[in-house]
Homo-oligomer: A and B are copies of this chain.
Amino acid sequence: MTQATSTQIQLVSRPAGWPVPQDFRTVTVDLPALAPGQVRVRNDFISVDPYMRGRMNDVESYTPPFALGETMTGGAVGRVVASTSDQFGEGDLVVHALGWRDLAQGPAESFSPVQEVPGAPESLYLGLLGMTGRTAYVGLTAVAGLRPGDTVLVSGAAGAVGSAAGQFARLLGASKVVGSAGSARKVELLTGRYGLDAAFNYKDAPVREQLPAVIPEGVDVYYDNVGGDHLEAAIDVMNRDGRAALCGSISGYNAEHPAPGPDNLHMLTTKGLTLKGFTVGFYQDRFPEFQQKAREWFTAGRLVYDETVVDGLDRAVEGFLDMMGGGNIGKALVKI
């Protein structure tokens, strides 16, 4: 296979607080001819996610930090344009972790074939039918141990993972699902389009003040995407044996200094509560079960979704920052 050029986004300085455009640069890289067993993919969509903010810091975590002066990675979906591997042929749809570039190239093992679901757009294999959906599903099931009849609270419920978690909770038998979001429009979407039983705008008043009224039954399962004030307020109203799946804490990702935690952790003891953090990669054994359920639900027309798409790799940083600021509804994507 011949050479080609790939346009890519790199991190050039580590943000202090909110990232700014100057922390990134766009480069054009010459891709060599494919070695044996390799694949070249033209990305159609790349995923921009809150966890990426953590990778911009120089802190070892479950994923290593982005290296300065190297192209950032992340979820992407696209089609094979060249292959020297017998695992993939031209035109195959694949997902992979080599985001933030238009053309991705590497060993075949770095790419996963998509088991297409009739009627689903490509982008959904990054979202509801992909990593986002898996994250919502394992958080509710393997991490929080959702049982039919449980009441469920989801923070950041209009976001990518949150909007999946709210719907999945209902489909898994929750008796009541309540969500938080950061605008009146999102709140209306949650109780309308997404079918949640109640929702509130966390910017209207302190979460701690609003929560008891929207879920007077108390919370059995809390799916936390926000942390901070949301986690503290949730602990207040969690029922005996309540379980929180801590997926992320976007409220703190851009903080320059660590903020103190909830002042009510003693309730973990008195109410027998569990806080369990997780990252989806450690629950791969649950992925096949998820894929089957998600396919069934989608095919039966029981899932809705929204996407917030910016057009063009040159707007990828803008799309990321907009998502961090809560500008997105549903999955945030960059269309290449």
Contact = CB atoms under 8 A, between A and B. Distances in A.
B277 A268 contact: yes
Given A260-B263, A261-B263, A266-B252, A278 B272 contact: yes
Contact of A279 (B252, B269, B282): B269
B260 A246 contact: no
Contact of A276 (B246, B248, B266, B274): B274
A267 interface: yes
Contact of A271 (B62, B247, B259, B274): B62
A34 to B, nearest CB: 36
Contacts of A333: none
> How many copies altogether?
2
Contact of A275 (B252, B263, B268, B271): B268
A274 B272 contact: no
A272 B279 contact: yes
Contacts of A7: none
A273 B270 CA distance: 20
B282 A277 contact: no
B269 A258 contact: no
A62 B261 contact: no
Contacts of A258: 263-264
Contact of A54 (B54, B262, B270): B270
Contacts of A267: 277
Given A268-B275, A272-B279, 11 more contacts: A54-B270, A62-B270, A231-B265, A246-B265, A259-B263, A260-B261, A261-B262, A261-B265, A262-B265, A270-B277, A274-B276
Interface of A: 54, 61-62, 227, 231, 240, 246-249, 252, 258-279, 282
Going nearest first, the 4 A-B pairs with the smallest beta carbon separation are A268-B277, A261-B261, A260-B260, A269-B277
